[in-house]
């Protein structure tokens, strides 16, 4: 596996490439053209500029997160083919520039949902958090306003102000979309893009819905083992794979994370590994990556990835705000750097343990 860090670009990220380069074991970044809108074509020139900036800092672009999918594609509207054609052109340009991993999601309206961006923990750190009770008590049109004050002046993915300004229109677009229709639209999209993925060896790694259940009545399909296996079987191509995000699948405590990983052998193209602490099944908060700080057995998650021969990019995710840092919630430097070194340490321990066992 290759340890990476998500980076939003020098114009948008409080974390610099020079800082990322100093995290032991981190050799690449997962990045994006953050100022592009869903449906925009990414030009080769802009991709080249992005790669050159990253290379100048001694790193490389290990993958893209995300090339966002336009709502016309998710809803299957009459103009979806135009946006799929644009998506294909972007994939072609990425492939020509030797980039072979794209993380994306197929979530309606909200890319992810949290009810708090700065819940204070006993140690003084602040974290992203979610309670179903708070969601049930709020109008979705007021959701952005309820958390925007804690964004620390940043623009958070999936919660762009211009997108949230159209929240009523977005909900209207999805009013007739249920799980089955969303599956149909995902299948159509994947069947259209697989030829270019085959040509340029681009792995499409769908990100799970977060949290892993319906929010505000919206359909959510990438939520469990059954559904993800269905998605891969309906477009049975090795380039049609997943981003295994322990924190997103793990929002549903019924999901057995190590078992899911083992069932997806060969189709996990990218991994996000993070920990959650549950106060109840529908009240959770982000934790430090350390197993004992949350609910998940991080060793067993990493062991499952090792056992299936996972060799793709991996990154820590959703760090706490610690040591007075002011950054995009979940995406500061310090706690994600701690997370990267902890995950590298687990991997090294597993690797050495397996080697010693083989020698005996």
pLDDT digits (tens, 9 = 90+) for 125-140: 999 999 999 888 877 6
Residue 328 near residue 152 (C-beta atoms within 8 A):
yes
Burial letters for 133-151: b for 16+ Cβ neighbours within 10 Å, e otherwise? ebbeeeebeebbeebeebb
Burial of 351 (0-12, 13-18, 19+ CB in 10 A): exposed
The catalytic residue among 318, 334, 335, 342 is 318
| Tens-binned pLDDT, residue by residue, of the chain (360 aa) | 999 999 999 999 999 999 999 999 999 999 999 999 999 999 999 999 999 999 999 999 999 998 999 999 999 999 999 999 999 999 999 999 999 999 999 999 877 788 889 999 999 999 999 999 988 887 766 665 655 565 666 655 655 666 666 778 888 889 899 999 999 999 999 999 999 999 999 999 999 998 998 888 889 999 999 999 999 999 999 999 999 999 999 999 999 999 999 999 999 999 999 999 999 999 999 999 999 999 999 999 999 999 999 999 999 999 999 999 999 899 999 999 999 999 999 999 999 987 666 655
Domain 2-358 is found in CATH 3.20.20.150? yes
Boundaries of every domain in the chain:
2-358
Is 245 an active-site residue? yes
Length of the chain: 360
Strands 240-245 and 203-206: parallel
Is 100 an active-site residue? no
Is 70 an active-site residue? no
Residue 101 near residue 203 (C-beta atoms within 8 A):
yes
Q: Phi, psi (5° rounding) for residue 173?
A: -60, -35
The catalytic residue among 272, 289, 334, 335 is 272
Residue 252 near residue 223 (C-beta atoms within 8 A):
yes
pLDDT at residue 147 in the model: 59
Q: Which residues contact 115 (CB under 8 A, 6 or more apart)?
A: 129, 130, 131, 134, 135, 138, 146, 147
Please state, in angstroms and rounded to a whole number, the distance separating the CA atoms of residues 304 and 298. 10
Residue 113 near residue 284 (C-beta atoms within 8 A):
no
pLDDT at residue 140 in the model: 67
Q: CA 33, 11, 206, 267: dihedral to nearest 10 degrees?
A: 90
Is 207 an active-site residue? yes
pLDDT at residue 357 in the model: 63
Residue 210 near residue 239 (C-beta atoms within 8 A):
no
Q: pLDDT for 42-84, tens place per residue?
A: 999 999 999 999 999 999 999 999 899 999 999 999 999 999 9
pLDDT at residue 134 in the model: 87
pLDDT at residue 283 in the model: 94
Please state, in angstroms and rounded to a whole number, the distance separating the CA atoms of residues 98 and 282. 41
Please state, in angstroms and rounded to a whole number, the distance separating the CA atoms of residues 335 and 339. 6
Q: pLDDT for 227-271, tens place per residue?
A: 999 999 999 999 999 999 999 999 999 999 999 999 999 999 999
């Amino acid at each position: 596996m290759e340890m990476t860090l998500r980076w939003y670009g020098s114009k948008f990220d409080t974390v610099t490439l020079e800082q990322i380069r100093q995290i032991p074991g981190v050799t690449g970044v997962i990045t994006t053209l953050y100022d592009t809108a869903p449906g925009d074509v990414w030009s080769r020139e802009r991709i080249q500029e992005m790669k050159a900036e990253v290379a100048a800092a001694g790193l490389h672009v290990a993958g893209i997160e995300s090339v966002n999918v336009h709502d016309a594609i998710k809803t299957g509207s009459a103009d979806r083919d135009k946006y799929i054609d644009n998506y294909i052109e972007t994939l072609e340009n990425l492939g020509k520039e030797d980039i072979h991993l794209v993380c994306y999601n197929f979530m309606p309206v909200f890319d992810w949902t949290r009810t708090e961006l700065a819940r204070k923990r006993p140690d003084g750190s602040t974290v992203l958090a979610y309670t179903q009770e708070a969601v049930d008590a709020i109008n979705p049109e007021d959701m952005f306003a309820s958390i925007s004050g804690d964004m620390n002046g940043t623009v958070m993915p999936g919660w762009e102000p211009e997108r949230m300004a159209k929240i009523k229109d977005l909900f209207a677009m999805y009013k007739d979309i249920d799980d089955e229709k969303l599956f149909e639209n995902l299948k159509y999209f994947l069947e259209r893009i697989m030829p270019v993925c085959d040509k340029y060896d681009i792995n499409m790694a769908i990100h799970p819905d977060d949290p892993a259940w319906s929010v505000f009545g919206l359909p959510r399909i990438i939520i469990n083992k059954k559904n993800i296996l269905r998605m891969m079987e309906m477009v049975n191509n090795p380039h049609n794979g997943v981003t295994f995000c322990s924190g997103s699948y793990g929002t549903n405590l019924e999901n057995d994370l190590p078992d899911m990983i083992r069932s997806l052998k060969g189709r996990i193209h990218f991994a996000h590994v993070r920990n959650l602490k549950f106060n109840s099944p529908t009240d959770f908060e982000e934790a430090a990556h350390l197993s004992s700080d949350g609910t998940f057995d991080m060793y067993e998650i990493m062991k499952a990835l090792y056992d299936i021969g996972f060799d793709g990019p991996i990154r820590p995710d959703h760090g706490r705000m610690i040591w007075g840092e002011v950054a995009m919630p979940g995406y500061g430097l310090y706690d994600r750097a701690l997370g990267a070194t902890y995950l590298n340490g687990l991997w090294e321990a597993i690797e050495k343990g397996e080697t010693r066992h083989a020698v005996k």
